[in-house]
C-alpha cells in the first residue's frame, strides 16, 4: 500500500482481512524457534572463526607475486619459512664494554635456545657506538602459535638482567607481524562492544522507547553469530582468505546494515499499524511494501562486494564473500526474526509513542517535518541547489588528485609497538644502510650466477648465500639504502629487472619491502578491474529494479561522487590533522565498493518509494517530494547508524582501519544528507518524468 500523498486525504483504516488467527499467532513462535535452533548450531562454529583468520603479509598478496613465491619456496628449505628478527641493544650516550658483552651473551643464548639454522648471530655495531644489532632467523616454526611463542620468548631473553640504562628491543619482519596480530586480537572484542553500544544508543534516540531498541539489537546479535559461523564454513570449504581486517569489517557491516534494515522495516510497520487492526496484518503489509526495496538493496550491496572476487589481492578477494555473507545474514534475520518479535510484542513495544489504530500519520502535511521543508526548498530553487551541491562535491573530490603514497611500516600503527620503535632506532643509528636483507630465491644450479649479478646491481651492499633444498637456494641481499626507503624500492626494482633475465634461474625477489611494492602494484591493477565491474553490476541491478536507465545512472553518479568527495577530504586531512603519513593501497578500492554499494542502498529506498508514488498516480515531481518526506527521517537515521558503525573503526589501533572508517563514514553522511536529500531530489525535479526514461512512466502524460 502506498504512503499517504500530499494531494489526497488519508485513507480510512482498512478492515483486517479474513484469515486463520490461530495460524497467524503460531507463526511468530515457529520463526523464533527456528532461529533458536540455528543459533544453537551456529555458536560453536562462530567461536572458531579466529582459527581460520590469516594475517601473514603474503596472505594479502596474489600467488603470482614475486614476494609470495619467495615465501612459498622458503617453506621448502630446511626449517621452512624463516621468522626474521633483529635484536637491538642501545644506550643513548654510547655502549660500554659490559653492554656489548651482555648483548653478545644474550644473542648467543637465544641462538642456542632456538633453531636458527646457523651459528650464533653476528654483531653489527653502529658507527656512532650507540647501538648494536644482531640479525636472526628462527627456523622450524610451522604455525602462527609457534611463531608467537618464539617471538615472545626472544623478547623476554633480550631484556633479562641487563645493565642499568641499556635498552633492548626486538624488531624485524617477524616481530612486526606478531605485533600486528596482537593488535587485532586485542581490538576484536572492543570493536564488537563499541559497535553494539553505538547502535544501542542511536536506536534509543531514534525510537524514543525504553524497550523497542532491544529487538533490533538482539536480532543483529543473532545475525552476527550466524555470519561468523557461515564465514568459518566458507573458509573451510573454499579456502577463502579471511583476515583480521575483513573480520572487523564484517562486524561493522552486520551491525550497520542490519540496523538499517530494522529501521526501515519498523518505520513501515509503524505506518501500517495506524491502518490495520492486527499487528500480524500490519507486518505482512509492511513486508510487502518495503520487502522488495530491502531485497534489492541488500542484493545490490552483496553483488557489489562479490565483484571483489575479481581482485588480485587475496585480502580483497576474501573481503567480497565476507561482506556478502554479513549483508545477506542481516537481511535474513531482519525480515524473519525481527518481524516475529515485533508482532509478538504488539503495539505496546512502541511505548510511549504507540501508533493507535486509525490515528493520523504524523508526517502528513507539507511543512510539518524537516524533510518536507527540505523538499519544499528544492522545489523553489532546484537549479541553484543542484549546482551548489555538484560544485561542493567536485571541490572535495579534487583531493583525490594528490592521494598519499604507501605508508612505511612504522606509520601503520596509531600507537607504535616495540617492533616499530626498534625499526625507528635502527634507522637513526644506521643512516644510509640496510638493516634487514632482501630474499632472493633461485635455482641452485644458477645460484653463483645470480649471486654475482645481484652483488653487481646498483644499490646492493653485500650478498650472502644461505640455505638450499630441493633444487632451490636462498640468497640474502643487503641494500645500501634503509628499509622501506625509496632507495631500497629502487634496488628491488633493479634486482628484479636484472635477475628475471637470467634464463633458467627462475629467480624471484622478496622480503618486507618487496611485499609492499607488490601490494601497491596489485592494488593499482585491481582498481582498473574492480571499479568498472562494480559500477556495471550495480547499474544493471538498478535498471532491472527501477525499469529505467536514466534514474540508475543518476543514482550511480551521485554515490560515486560521494565516494570521491569523501576520499578527497580524507587525503587532505589525514596527515595535517591526524598526523597519519601515507594511505594503505587497499583503502581506495575498499572504500569505493562500500560507499557505492551502501550508498546506492539509500537511493534505492528513495527511488523505489518515488516510483511507487508515481505508479499510484502522482506526478514525478510530486512523487519525489512525497518520497523524500516519507522516507527522509528513517533513511537519515539509517545513514547516521551506518556512518557511526563504520566510525567505530576509527577507534582501532591501525591507521588503515582509521582511514577506511573515516572515508566510508563521511561518504555515507554526504550521501544521506546532501546527495540523496538535495542533489538527487533536485535533479529529479528538473528532469520530471524523463528520469524514468525509457520506461513507460517516462511516456505517461500525468507523470510529468
Confidence at residue 432, expressed as pLDDT on a 0 to 100 scale:
66
* 464, 574: one domain: no
Is residue 691 a contact partner of residue 554, using CB atoms and an 8 Å limit?
yes
* 34, 88: one domain: no
Per residue in 405-429, pLDDT (tens digit) is: 888 877 888 888 888 888 888 888 8
- Alpha helix locations (H) across 485-619? 486-499, 512-546, 550-573, 587-615
Confidence at residue 564, expressed as pLDDT on a 0 to 100 scale:
94
User: Rounded to an integer, what distance in angstroms lies between the CA atom of residue 333 and that of residue 258?
Assistant: 8
* 568, 674: one domain: yes
User: Rounded to an integer, what distance in angstroms lies between the CA atom of residue 652 and that of residue 186?
Assistant: 10
Q: Are strands 167-171 and 83-90 parallel, antiparallel or unpaired?
A: antiparallel
Residue with cell string 650472502:
464
Q: State the angle between helix axes of 587-615 and 655-670 in degrees (0 to 180), rounded to the nearest 10.
A: 20
Cα 604 to chain centroid distance, Å, stands at: 22
Q: Is 199 part of a structural domain of the chain?
A: no
Cα 683 to Cα 303, 533, 604, 680, 689: the distances in Å are 27, 26, 15, 5, 11
Q: Model-level pTM? A: 0.84
Q: Is 6 part of a structural domain of the chain?
A: no
- Domain edge (last residue) among 161, 179, 197: 179
Per residue in 139-185, pLDDT (tens digit) is: 877 777 888 889 999 999 998 888 999 999 998 888 888 888 777 77
User: Rounded to an integer, what distance in angstroms lies between the CA atom of residue 291 and that of residue 303?
Assistant: 18
Element holding 645 (H helix, E strand): helix 620-647
C-alpha cell at 612: 511507487
* 650, 626: one domain: yes
179: left (phi over 0), alpha (psi -120 to 50) or beta: alpha
Domain that residue 97 falls in: 82-179
Q: Is 44 part of a structural domain of the chain?
A: yes
What value does the mean pLDDT take over residues 333-352? 91
- Domain edge (last residue) among 510, 544, 568: 510
Q: For the domain that residue 479 is a member of, what is the CATH number?
A: 3.30.70.260
pLDDT of 373 above 50: yes
User: Rounded to an integer, what distance in angstroms lies between the CA atom of residue 597 and that of residue 556?
Assistant: 9
What is the average pLDDT score of the chain?
85
Element holding 366 (H helix, E strand): none
Number of domains composing the chain: 3
Confidence label for 619 from pLDDT (cuts 50, 70 and 90): confident
φ, ψ of residue 17 in degrees (nearest 5)? -70, 155
Is residue 250 a contact partner of residue 322, using CB atoms and an 8 Å limit?
yes
CA atoms within 13 A on the CB side of 632: 24
Confidence label for 366 from pLDDT (cuts 50, 70 and 90): very low
- Alpha helix locations (H) across 460-511? 486-499
* 174, 300: one domain: no
Peptide bond into 43 cis (omega under 30): no
Amino acid at each position: 500500500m502506498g504512503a499517504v500523498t500530499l494531494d489526497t486525504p488519508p485513507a480510512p483504516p482498512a478492515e483486517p482481512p479474513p484469515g486463520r488467527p490461530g495460524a497467524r499467532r503460531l507463526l511468530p513462535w515457529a520463526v523464533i524457534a527456528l532461529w533458536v535452533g540455528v543459533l544453537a548450531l551456529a555458536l560453536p562454529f562462530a567461536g572458531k572463526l579466529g582459527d581460520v583468520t590469516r594475517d601473514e603479509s603474503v596472505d594479502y598478496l596474489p600467488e603470482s607475486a614475486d614476494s609470495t613465491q619467495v615465501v612459498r619456496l622458503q617453506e621448502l628449505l630446511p626449517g621452512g619459512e624463516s621468522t626474521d628478527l633483529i635484536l637491538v641493544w642501545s644506550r643513548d650516550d654510547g655502549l660500554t664494554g659490559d653492554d656489548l658483552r651482555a648483548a653478545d651473551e644474550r644473542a648467543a643464548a637465544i641462538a642456542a635456545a632456538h633453531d636458527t639454522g646457523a651459528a650464533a648471530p653476528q654483531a653489527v655495531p653502529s658507527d656512532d657506538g650507540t647501538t648494536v644489532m644482531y640479525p636472526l632467523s628462527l627456523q622450524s616454526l610451522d604455525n602462527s602459535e609457534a611463531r608467537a611463542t618464539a617471538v615472545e620468548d626472544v623478547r623476554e631473553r633480550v631484556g633479562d638482567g641487563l645493565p642499568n640504562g641499556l635498552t633492548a628491543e626486538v624488531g624485524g619482519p617477524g616481530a612486526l607481524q606478531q605485533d600486528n596480530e596482537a593488535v587485532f586480537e586485542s581490538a576484536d572484542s572492543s570493536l564488537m562492544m563499541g559497535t553494539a553500544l553505538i547502535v544501542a544508543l542511536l536506536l534509543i534516540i531514534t525510537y524514543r522507547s525504553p524497550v523497542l531498541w532491544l529487538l533490533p539489537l538482539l536480532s543483529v546479535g543473532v545475525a552476527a553469530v550466524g555470519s561468523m559461523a557461515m564465514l568459518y564454513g566458507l573458509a573451510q570449504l573454499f579456502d577463502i582468505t579471511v583476515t583480521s581486517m575483513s573480520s572487523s569489517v564484517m562486524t561493522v557491516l552486520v551491525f550497520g546494515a542490519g540496523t538499517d534494515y530494522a529501521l526501515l522495516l519498523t518505520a513501515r510497520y509503524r505506518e501500517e499499524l495506524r491502518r490495520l487492526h492486527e499487528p500480524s496484518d500490519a507486518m505482512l503489509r509492511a513486508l510487502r511494501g518495503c520487502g522488495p526495496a530491502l531485497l534489492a538493496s541488500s542484493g545490490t550491496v552483496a553483488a557489489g562486494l562479490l565483484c571483489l572476487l575479481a581482485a588480485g589481492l587475496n585480502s580483497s578477494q576474501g573481503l567480497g564473500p565476507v561482506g556478502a555473507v554479513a549483508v545477506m545474514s542481516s537481511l535474513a534475520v531482519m525480515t524473519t526474526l525481527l518481524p516475529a518479535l515485533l508482532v509478538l510484542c504488539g503495539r505496546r513495544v512502541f511505548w510511549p509513542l504507540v501508533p493507535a489504530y486509525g490515528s493520523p500519520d504524523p508526517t502528513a502535511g507539507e511543512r510539518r517535518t524537516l524533510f518536507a521543508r527540505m523538499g519544499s526548498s528544492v522545489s523553489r530553487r532546484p537549479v541553484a541547489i543542484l549546482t551548489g551541491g555538484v560544485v561542493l562535491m567536485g571541490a572535495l573530490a579534487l583531493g583525490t588528485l594528490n592521494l598519499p603514497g604507501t605508508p612505511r611500516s612504522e606509520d601503520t600503527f596509531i600507537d607504535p609497538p616495540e617492533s616499530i620503535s626498534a625499526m625507528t632506532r635502527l634507522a637513526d643509528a644506521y643512516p644510509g644502510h640496510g638493516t634487514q636483507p632482501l630474499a632472493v630465491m633461485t635455482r641452485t644450479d644458477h645460484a653463483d650466477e645470480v649471486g654475482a649479478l645481484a652483488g653487481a646491481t646498483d644499490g646492493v651492499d653485500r650478498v650472502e648465500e644461505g640455505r638450499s633444498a630441493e633444487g632451490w637456494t636462498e640468497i640474502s641481499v643487503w641494500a645500501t639504502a634503509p628499509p622501506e626507503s625509496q632507495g631500497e624500492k629502487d634496488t628491488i626494482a633493479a634486482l628484479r629487472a636484472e635477475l628475471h633475465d637470467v634464463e633458467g634461474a627462475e629467480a624471484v625477489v622478496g622480503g618486507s619491502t618487496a611485499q609492499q611494492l607488490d601490494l601497491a602494484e596489485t592494488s593499482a591493477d585491481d582498481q582498473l578491474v574492480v571499479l568498472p565491474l562494480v559500477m556495471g553490476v550495480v547499474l544493471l541491478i538498478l535498471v532491472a529494479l527501477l525499469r529505467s536507465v536514466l534514474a540508475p545512472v543518476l543514482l550511480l553518479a551521485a554515490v560515486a561522487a560521494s565516494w570521491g568527495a569523501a576520499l578527497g577530504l580524507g587525503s587532505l586531512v589525514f596527515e595535517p590533522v591526524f598526523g597519519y603519513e601515507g594511505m594503505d593501497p587497499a583503502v581506495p578500492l575498499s572504500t569505493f565498493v562500500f560507499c557505492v554499494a551502501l550508498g546506492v542502498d539509500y537511493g534505492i529506498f528513495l527511488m523505489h518509494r518515488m516510483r511507487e508514488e508515481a505508479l499510484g498516480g502522482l506526478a514525478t515531481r510530486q512523487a519525489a517530494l512525497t518520497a523524500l518526506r516519507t522516507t527522509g527521517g528513517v533513511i537519515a537515521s539509517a545513514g547516521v547508524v551506518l556512518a557511526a558503525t563504520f566510525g567505530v573503526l576509527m577507534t582501532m589501533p591501525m591507521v588503515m582501519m582509521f582511514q577506511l572508517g573515516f572515508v566510508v563514514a563521511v561518504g555515507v553522511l554526504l550521501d544521506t544528507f546532501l546527495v540523496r536529500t538535495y542533489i538527487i531530489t533536485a535533479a529529479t525535479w528538473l528532469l520530471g518524468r524523463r528520469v524514468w526514461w525509457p520506461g513507460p512512466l517516462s511516456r505517461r502524460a500525468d507523470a510529468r
